[in-house]
Amino acid sequence: MAAKRLLAVVIALAFTSPAWGIGGITTTGSLPRDTSRGYFDLTVKVKDVLPSDLPLKSKETSLTQRLSLYLTDVSSSETVGTATGGTTTVAFYLELRDEVLSELNSSGNYDLTFYPRIRQVNSNGLANLVDSSTDKKSLKVRIKYLEDLVAKGDPVDNTIVVNPTVANEAPGSLSVLGSHKLLSVAFESKPSITFIGASDAASTDAPTDATVVAFRLGTAYPSLPAKIFTPASTADTDTTCEFDATQANGGACIVCADSKAYLDAASLATLDPNNISVRSASKGSRDISGLENDVSYAVVAMYQPDGIQRSVCLTATPSENLTLTELNGEGEATEQNFRCFIATAAYGTPLHKNLRGLRWFRDGIAGMHPAGNALIEAYYRNSPPLAAWITKHPSASASVRAALWVPALVTGATMTAAQQIGLTPAQSVATMIFMTALAMTAIAIQARKNRGRCARSMSR
């Protein structure tokens, strides 16, 4: 009886959500080397959003409404969408050009990632705003996060400077998995990569994010907009690159005449939006949704900001594979950043509650140890083909769900206990071992009882 009562407490804890506020806001990005381009991109991450706060509130129609962004130089209060004077008279507007990514973190809450683009209204606005700053190469961005029109947390100011370098390394270990109207893209998430700057001398630094591009095959593309990196200048030279469909699967499908050419990702996104999909990827993964089933696409990746090296290209084909949420009458799945390929394939959706604990274990326990990281990266490289097979075989999906039941229960319960009690990673591992032994004992006792009932039935 004591074991059963403890098991009931464990199950109750597994589905209890803690009540905490957001953990903070971070902003990454850089101004274009050529400020006459008239826009720049940011990555804004809001950390530790409660699962219960993720659904839209009464006055919201989209999560993008929660982001409030102000743009200033050092000495004025210039804001996005206004032309209110100060040291410049510049109007800007905010374009939330991408879906919001939601990622479960080690605390069991969600990190929301926004990818806003800041566009100028007049022709020289961005250059004028940068020139008006004291150092002639930066501006400030102020971010607020709101829920139901109410600010949560303090506003955060970040200085965004003109990008002085380009990435001289390509994302490695690219993998692409086709699913229902989308492609799941993964690559190696490195803590640092090689850059080159004004002196052409190599240095290493953390990459901001990456850009992934999907080209619909069977389409003839015009020349792709690109820039040639000019080390001594902040204004790079216009050029073009070509898409080579013969190299789409395992080759270099982007061909540039100059070795220092990089794709102008923002211009590429508007070149042929019906056939070319451009996305920003965070932490080594990204889904590209809104694609057509049973049509092949070639995917290539490059680091931000402005990478002059590109990954090999890989092809994949989205296919009919409705998620459980769609079968229940909900809308189509949107882009997410969960990367649990096999588990997602088994459950039919990345949002199933049984996956929360598994992701917490991956990011908060296994991901903190070198051996765990190696296993995770090996899983990301090798699991997409198996996940694709599972989605096509319902019996396999059921078997995987059965196999994951105890790990999902144990990790979910430990995650909740860690959040509420404050367990260390070592204590969490010990707790999981104990809970696993408890769960397996309960299963063995129940199996023995079932065998006894079956034997008594047969003896009659």
Q: Which of 256-260, 274-278, 333-337, 422-426 has the lowest mean pLDDT?
A: 333-337
For the whole model, what pTM was predicted? 0.55
CATH superfamily, domain at 166-316: Immunoglobulins (2.60.40.10)
Q: What is the pLDDT of residue 2?
A: 44
Stretch among 35-49, 323-337, 384-398, 409-423 having the lowest mean pLDDT: 323-337
Phi then psi for residue 8, to 5 deg, are -65, -40
Give the residue range(s) of CATH 2.60.40.10 domains in the chain: 166-316
How far is the C-alpha of 411 from the C-alpha of 358, rounded, in Å?
A: 6
Q: Name the band, by pLDDT with cuts 50, 70 and 90, for residue 106.
A: confident
Q: Give the lowest-confidence range in 29-33, 85-89, 218-222, 354-358.
A: 85-89
Q: Which stretch of 137-151, 158-172, 280-294, 375-389 has the lowest confidence by average pLDDT?
A: 375-389
What pLDDT does 91 receive? 59
pLDDT in tens, 293-339: 899 999 999 998 789 999 999 999 988 654 444 444 444 444 443 44
Indicate the range of 52-56, 166-170, 445-449 predicted with least confidence: 445-449
pLDDT, one tens digit per residue, over 232-269 is 766 788 999 999 999 999 999 999 999 999 998 878 88
Most confident of 54-63, 303-312, 400-409: 303-312
The structural architecture, per CATH, of the domain 24-161 is Sandwich (2.60)
Of 84 and 28, the structure prediction assigns the larger pLDDT to 28
